[in-house]
Structure 1
Amino acid sequence: MKPSLAKGTRDFTAQEVSRRKYIINILQNNFQLFGFQPLETPSFENLSTLTGKYGEEGDRLIFKILNSSINEAKEDKKTQMLTDFQKALDKPFSSESLTDKALRYDLTVPFARFVAMNHGQLTFPYKRYQIQPVWRADRPQKGRFREFYQCDADVVGSESLLQEVELIQLYLKSFSDLKVSVTIHVNNRKILSGLAEYAGITDKLIDFTVALDKLDKIGKDGVIKELLEKGISPESIDKLDFLFSQSDDALENLLQLKEKFVGNEIGLKGVEELEFVLMQSLSLGVDLQNLVFDITLARGLDYYTGAIFEVKADEAQMGSIGGGGRYDNLTAVFGVKNIPGIGISFGLDRIYLVMEELGLFPEEASSKVEYLFANFGGEETLEALKLIIQLRAKGISAELYPESAKINKQFTYAEKKGIKKLVFLGEEEIKNRTVTFKNLEAGEQKTVSLEEFLG
């Protein structure tokens, strides 16, 4: 059978792994600078933990795991296996007889489950970061995979809007360190709830936000078509038409909303919260060209209750490379109320693609061996290994070519592997306590004393 990869998954070469670690190290360093502590959760959760948290569309993308009883049935005779599996298929797929576990869809819901289980032992506000893979049964395309990493930072136990301001700072510093120019789009779910009330479609809030969240993909006409299909009247849609023609001035747009939201308590609360975040960020030196109020930003996850964020690269067409928001009621679904939360996520895989496209990875982001020792066999091999041990003790990467092969073959190996220097430790060098090495990039060869080489 010809080997192949499952759709939406990838292998990572040495260079790709090294570059991914370069991104992760920068993010992890910044998480810790901002006071976040690490956390890891299992790769799969109880299905009941995940379902009902992401909206109807999100729930469909959860990878469900067949119960072990089904797998055990496959070990029986073929006829019995087919009979048992057919019985399982005749039941609803959500039936616990078929599946009660699923691969995690994101890191936020498992985090909320962790907080609900451990809230008595945590110190609030509790700040955690988490860098782990997640899985979604999505349609694979550029920048979208079925298995991918999320890099999250969340704060729970605080209603202070300064958390929003801090997370914006975390985004800006991290992308500045990565040399990726970005724009952070911000909105507030209370504003969206206010818009639904303003248009008389409060009962269609989720349908409204899900459709609006697709504006970048399907355009204004596509959004309007979807709203009509969801039973939202043309009159209500006409009242929302101003959403599609916002000015570039965030404060002017907020002022316009204040006029429309007179008597609309939840809408005015959203405007007030967003205005605070924007003004505080402005006072801290954030350029409002890098922090944009995007009234059409909805983020289609049901659990957001306040501020929402989406980060886009300025110089590459990649969709969002980060996002998040406030979710003040998420732990309540696990029986623990009054623990507000907010978090952001960095899309590692999309950030990688952006940096690769723009040539932003520095040379040190690639993992390369510095020295390859030519293998001459006999005593020279043992002496080479002794010297390699001394280099490694100094934190310098080095390896010995495993066979005593023709020197051209060893040269080719070094060049293909990107090793910078080929070392010759022959009989003459051992006798004179010298080392000869060739810089394969510059094409220069020289002999130095053993002390100078190790110095």
Structure 2
Amino acid sequence: MAQKPSIPKGTRDFSPAEMVRRNYIFDTIREVFQKYGYMPIETPAMENLDTLLGKYGDEGDKLLFKILNSGDFLSKADEKLLAQKDSSRLTGQISEKGLRYDLTVPFARFVVQHQGELTFPFKRYQIQPVWRADRPQKGRYREFFQCDVDVVGSDSLFNEVELVQIVDEVFRKLGIRVIVKLNNRKVLAGIAEIIGESSRLTDITVAIDKLEKIGLEKVNAELLEKGLSNAAIEKLQPILSLSGTNNEKLDRLSYILASSETGIKGVNEIREVLTILEALELKTGIELDLTLARGLNYYTGAIFEVKALDVEIGSITGGGRYDDLTGIFGLKNVSGVGISFGADRIFDVMNQLELFPSEVTASTQLMFVNFGPREGLWCLKLATELRQQGLKVEVYPDSARMKKQMNYANKKNIDFVALVGEEEMKAGTVTLKNMESGEQFSVSPGEIAGKIRKRK
């Protein structure tokens, strides 16, 4: 007996009904991006490994999917490394490419490669899948879609404000209640400075970014393991537990970080962004969260994270400011800022909270029952006219039993069924059946579109 086929862990198939819902998310996000002047690009699924490695920190590099070289990939491998099973050093000899980990680094590569063709500030959005060799769990997949929006070539904090506006509008349109968490890597650098551990900023940010997942005790243990002194960890505790309003936290931070020029600059940037957002009177709540670190090495300024309020799941959107990401590819001093919407987690949240509009689940509005060749041809002609009027219409392909055709319509949640037999053809009418109410009525072909749209 043949083995039942399967897919890799951490990946998913999506049925037609699920894809209709996913496309609703993509279309909603894309529409908002375009309203703010962002234009689409796409980049390859795979990048050269030297493009990807070293951009996400050690932990991120471990999660890169590497692609074996074509042909006999072992032919050029060092026999000693093979014998030693030294996978880290061997990788570069047998793999030159990898699947993209996110859309930001490929975007930076794109900007550098095409800089002569772009107008700066360059505003782009990108909706494509990414891959991470992570341990699959609820809300965490190995293949997932990101919907990224970035602007490069501008230092203005108006860009950070605009990204929060986009977050506010997207989630209001999708009906998801969220909170935007905000921090700044300059503030984190200032904290590292005042506790005497400036050289360990990456270790500190990677650890405290896990605070919500593993708790303060385990974060402290990780910091100790990374080599921070007990005194430094002790100084960090009251900072991580700051409470109060955003302004109260900022006032306290201004006092704590008074001796750090970098830290104060971060505080002032946060204050300016919050002041502008307050004037815009957004509906979405914004919280200054000092434990927000986002463990990606390329962030240098503002960092964002968006959490759903009505369901337990990780962040559904995140991003931040990167001052010189393009510098690693040879284009210096080009600052950028962006955010990424996690489409798969948004999909899971909307499913769990039943937020999809009812019309999103209906792919076909009208199906013509097929009574035979003559009737079928008559229906095909009318179906063509109705499609030109913007309706979603199909004609059942076979003149099968009525029960079979009606079962098909029911299973596909089709709104209306059209019955056209010999009598209807002679009279030039159509019998419409509302599949929800069961009501049947006779209409002229010209009345069909109005009747179907009226139901909505």
Task: With the length of structure 2 as denominator, give the TM-score of the two structures.
Answer: 0.94
1:70 touches 1:85 (CA, 8 Å); kept in 2? no
Amino acid at match of 1:372: M
Equivalent residue, structure 1, for 2:25: 23
| Distance across 2 between alignment mates of 1:245 and 1:61 | 31
Equivalent residue, structure 1, for 2:351: 356
1:371 touches 1:399 (CA, 8 Å); kept in 2? yes
Amino acid at match of 1:203: S
| Distance across 1 between alignment mates of 2:97 and 2:84 | 16
In structure 2, the CA distance between the partners of 1:33 and 1:430, relative to structure 1 (3 Å rule), is same
| Distance across 2 between alignment mates of 1:441 and 1:292 | 45
2:362 touches 2:414 (CA, 8 Å); kept in 1? no
1:298 matched to 2:300: no
Greater Cα offset, 294-303 or 163-172: 163-172
Equivalent residue, structure 1, for 2:333: 338
2:121 touches 2:152 (CA, 8 Å); kept in 1? yes
Equivalent residue, structure 2, for 1:402: 397
Amino acid at match of 2:33: F
In structure 2, the CA distance between the partners of 1:127 and 1:400, relative to structure 1 (3 Å rule), is same
| SS in structure 1 of the partner of residue 254 of structure 2 | helix
Amino acid at match of 2:272: F
Equivalent residue, structure 2, for 1:275: 271
Equivalent residue, structure 1, for 2:380: 385
1:326 matched to 2:326: no
Amino acid at match of 1:369: T
Amino acid at match of 1:191: V
Match of 2:4 among 2, 5, 9: 2
| Distance across 2 between alignment mates of 1:276 and 1:433 | 68
| Distance across 2 between alignment mates of 1:84 and 1:8 | 34
| SS in structure 2 of the partner of residue 96 of structure 1 | helix
Greater Cα offset, 31-40 or 401-410: 401-410
Equivalent residue, structure 2, for 1:179: 175
| Distance across 1 between alignment mates of 2:399 and 2:157 | 66
Equivalent residue, structure 2, for 1:112: 108
1:36 to partner: Cα distance: 0.8
| Distance across 2 between alignment mates of 1:91 and 1:291 | 44
1:33 matched to 2:28: no
1:70 touches 1:98 (CA, 8 Å); kept in 2? no
Amino acid at match of 1:137: A
| Distance across 1 between alignment mates of 2:58 and 2:272 | 32
1:96 to partner: Cα distance: 3.2
2:382 touches 2:445 (CA, 8 Å); kept in 1? no
- Where in structure 2 are there 5+ consecutive unaligned residues? 451-456
1:103 matched to 2:105: no
1:14 touches 1:367 (CA, 8 Å); kept in 2? no
2:81 touches 2:90 (CA, 8 Å); kept in 1? no
| Distance across 1 between alignment mates of 2:382 and 2:45 | 43
Equivalent residue, structure 2, for 1:49: 51
2:47 touches 2:99 (CA, 8 Å); kept in 1? yes
| Distance across 2 between alignment mates of 1:234 and 1:372 | 71
1:121 to partner: Cα distance: 2.5
| Distance across 2 between alignment mates of 1:53 and 1:133 | 18
1:199 matched to 2:195: yes
In structure 2, the CA distance between the partners of 1:378 and 1:153, relative to structure 1 (3 Å rule), is closer
Match of 1:314 among 296, 309, 313: 309
| Distance across 2 between alignment mates of 1:388 and 1:180 | 37
Q: Residues 350-385 of structure 1: CA distance to partner in whole angstroms, max 9, x if unpaired?
A: 111111111111022224212222121132222122
| Distance across 1 between alignment mates of 2:307 and 2:151 | 23
| SS in structure 2 of the partner of residue 240 of structure 1 | helix
Equivalent residue, structure 1, for 2:417: 422
| SS in structure 1 of the partner of residue 72 of structure 2 | helix
In structure 2, the CA distance between the partners of 1:67 and 1:130, relative to structure 1 (3 Å rule), is same
| Distance across 2 between alignment mates of 1:421 and 1:122 | 49
1:15 to partner: Cα distance: 1.4
In structure 2, the CA distance between the partners of 1:51 and 1:404, relative to structure 1 (3 Å rule), is same
In structure 2, the CA distance between the partners of 1:277 and 1:409, relative to structure 1 (3 Å rule), is same
| Distance across 1 between alignment mates of 2:224 and 2:356 | 46
| SS in structure 2 of the partner of residue 320 of structure 1 | coil
1:155 touches 1:342 (CA, 8 Å); kept in 2? yes
1:373 touches 1:425 (CA, 8 Å); kept in 2? yes
| Distance across 2 between alignment mates of 1:150 and 1:177 | 18
Match of 1:368 among 363, 368, 371: 363
| Distance across 2 between alignment mates of 1:7 and 1:93 | 27
1:437 touches 1:446 (CA, 8 Å); kept in 2? yes
1:127 touches 1:156 (CA, 8 Å); kept in 2? yes
| Distance across 2 between alignment mates of 1:308 and 1:416 | 46
In structure 2, the CA distance between the partners of 1:94 and 1:158, relative to structure 1 (3 Å rule), is farther
Equivalent residue, structure 2, for 1:76: none
| Distance across 2 between alignment mates of 1:121 and 1:451 | 50
| Distance across 2 between alignment mates of 1:91 and 1:294 | 39
| Distance across 1 between alignment mates of 2:90 and 2:147 | 30
Equivalent residue, structure 1, for 2:143: 147
| Distance across 1 between alignment mates of 2:84 and 2:406 | 60
| SS in structure 2 of the partner of residue 3 of structure 1 | coil
Q: Residues 192-236 of structure 1: CA distance to partner in whole angstroms, max 9, x if unpaired?
A: 000001111111111110000000100111111111111111111
